[in-house]
């Protein structure tokens, strides 16, 4: 992994753990044993770094969902839950939720990338829910797009609450979400 990739990876971890506005280039340069100037060389503005973090997440999501595409829709949704479970174990939150709390302070170009990331996730989940319902694998009432919003917002909130109340909260919420899709 080259220096630029290490910078993006470190920034990603910091955004998920602390929030976008709660870290500086020094928080990146120190653990990587590089100078702040090296971070500025690759990312002249913090928004440039933020956009790179979001673009990396979008690319990763596209790769993951392509890998899951051959699975039945209920299993694809389980894979998404597993991603969130990993965030919970690591005491992190998802990138969308972290950046949403800072959204009004982000540069317009970064806001556009966050919207793109959110739209990609919701579009995929909506299509997955609709296809799963049509095949009889999933049961729910109302539009699939609304159910996708309910699932994502509950997953995001469960990560936040599990920071306060422990991982059991995440498991309780995801267990109920899955039960609701099966009954």
- Domain assignments of the chain as residue spans, ordered by start: 54-182
State the CATH class of domain 54-182: mainly alpha
- Burial code (b: 16+ CB inside 10 Å, e: under 16) for 124-157 equals bbbbbbbebbeeebbebeeebeebbeebbebbbe
Inter-helix orientation angle 167-182/144-165, to 10°: 160
pLDDT digits (tens, 9 = 90+) for 69-128: 999 999 999 999 999 999 999 888 999 999 999 999 999 999 999 999 999 999 999 999
Distances from the Cα of 17 to the Cαs of 50, 113, 120, 163, in angstroms? 14, 20, 23, 10
pLDDT digits (tens, 9 = 90+) for 5-27: 999 999 999 999 999 999 999 99
On whether the pTM is more than 0.95, the answer is no
């Amino acid at each position: 992994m080259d220096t630029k990739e290490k910078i993006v990876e470190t920034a990603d971890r910091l955004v998920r753990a602390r929030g976008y506005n709660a870290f500086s280039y020094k928080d990146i340069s120190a653990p990587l044993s590089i100078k702040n100037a090296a971070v500025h060389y690759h990312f002249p503005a913090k928004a440039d770094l933020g956009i790179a973090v979001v673009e990396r997440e979008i690319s990763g999501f596209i790769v993951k969902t392509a890998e899951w595409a051959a699975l039945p829709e209920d299993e694809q949704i389980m894979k998404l839950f597993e991603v969130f479970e990993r965030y919970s174990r690591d005491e992190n939150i998802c990138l969308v939720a972290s950046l949403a709390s800072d959204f009004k302070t982000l540069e317009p170009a970064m806001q556009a990338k966050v919207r793109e990331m959110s739209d990609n996730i919701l579009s995929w989940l909506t299509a997955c829910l609709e296809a799963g319902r049509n095949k009889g694998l999933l049961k729910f009432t109302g539009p699939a797009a609304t159910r996708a919003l309910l699932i994502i917002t509950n997953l995001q909130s469960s990560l936040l609450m599990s920071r306060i109340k422990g991982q059991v909260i995440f498991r309780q919420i995801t267990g109920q979400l899955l039960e609701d899709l099966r009954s």
